[in-house]
Amino acid sequence: MAACRSVPTRPRPRPLPVYPMWAPRSTTRPRSRTTSSRRSISSRIPSKRRIVSRTIRPTGAAMKSAEKPRSAEPGRYGPLIALLSVLLLVPAYAAQAGTVTQLAGVLTARKLDGGVKILGMQSLVDSGDTLATGVNTYARLKFSDGGELTLRPNTQLRIDDYKFDQAKPQEDNAFFRLVKGGLRAVTGLVGKRSGVDSYRMATPTATIGIRGTNFGLLFCQKEESDCDDYRNNAGVAPGDGLYLDVAEGRITASNEGGQQEYAAGQFGFVATTTSPPIALPPSSGVPIATDKGTNKPIESVLGNSVNQKDFECTVD
């Protein structure tokens, strides 16, 4: 008979968990609620790549607005545009040149803006004015530097440029243009304290350079009949051209034909812009300081206008 003994039983090992192959266990920590909410929000926002790659076709209104040039921002450039607009509307300022001190007859001034004024005693004339005397008009102007101009009948004179500052002699400038007729001039500080070219007068046939002097100019042309009643020292009617005389100082006449200087007591003549200026003998000279036809001095004619009533009006 077999003998049997009891064998102590071992503890049964704990079975290992079994996971299916299609659902492996995740080794990462679970996302928080906040992260998942961000994920859901970001999923609704299209990515930058999708926006860039998308083709946008503008509508008709958008195409029209795209064709228009971009204007400057009004807030940024508005003050500058307003300032420029004001400056463009401001008329050009003409510097005051002189005053009408004596007048017998009608004297007009055409301004830079095209307006015409009928001048009277104490009327102001400006740089840029074109002065015109009537048929029987004599006028005397006094300038701020002390110089004077006496205009004869049927005369047109343009003040091309006039600058005088007592403290700035280097800026002195007086440039006149005799269009027709005649005048007598006495220079002031301009032409005495400055350079030779600071006082000039252009005429139809020559340009006159003045240096501290008293001189007269008369331009004759048949179609204007300015010199029909005028006579030289020999009693002969002058022909066409520019006549000049010098009472004090010196003047120089120059044109394409040449240059001629005249001293006190001399007379001159310039026929055309290409003919050289010449000196005339006293017998053939034309004194500019007398009233044509009567031989009365200009001073005697203007003496009647001292008490003339002041007036000035604008012609529309």
pLDDT tens profile 246-264: 999 999 999 999 999 999 9
Interval 87-128: pLDDT, tens: 444 344 457 889 999 999 999 999 999 999 999 999 999 999
pLDDT at 9 > cutoff 50: yes
Contacts with 147 (C-beta within 8 Å, 6 or more apart), sequence order: 174, 185, 186, 187, 188, 189, 190, 191
For domain 96-315, the question of CATH label 3.30.300.30 is answered with no
pLDDT of residue 84: 56
Q: What is the per-residue pLDDT for 212?
A: 78
Considering only residues 3 and 136, tell me which one the structure prediction assigns the higher pLDDT: 136
Average pLDDT, whole number, for the chain? 77
Contact between 172 and 210 under an 8 Å Cβ cutoff? The reply is no
Give the 3-state secondary structure of residue 260: strand
pTM (two decimals): 0.66
Q: Which residue has the higher pLDDT, 109 or 84?
A: 109
Tell me the two tokens of residue 215: 């001189």
* Domain residue extents for the chain: 96-315
Could you read off the pLDDT of 41-78 as tens digits, one per residue? 555 555 545 444 455 555 555 555 555 555 545 456 66
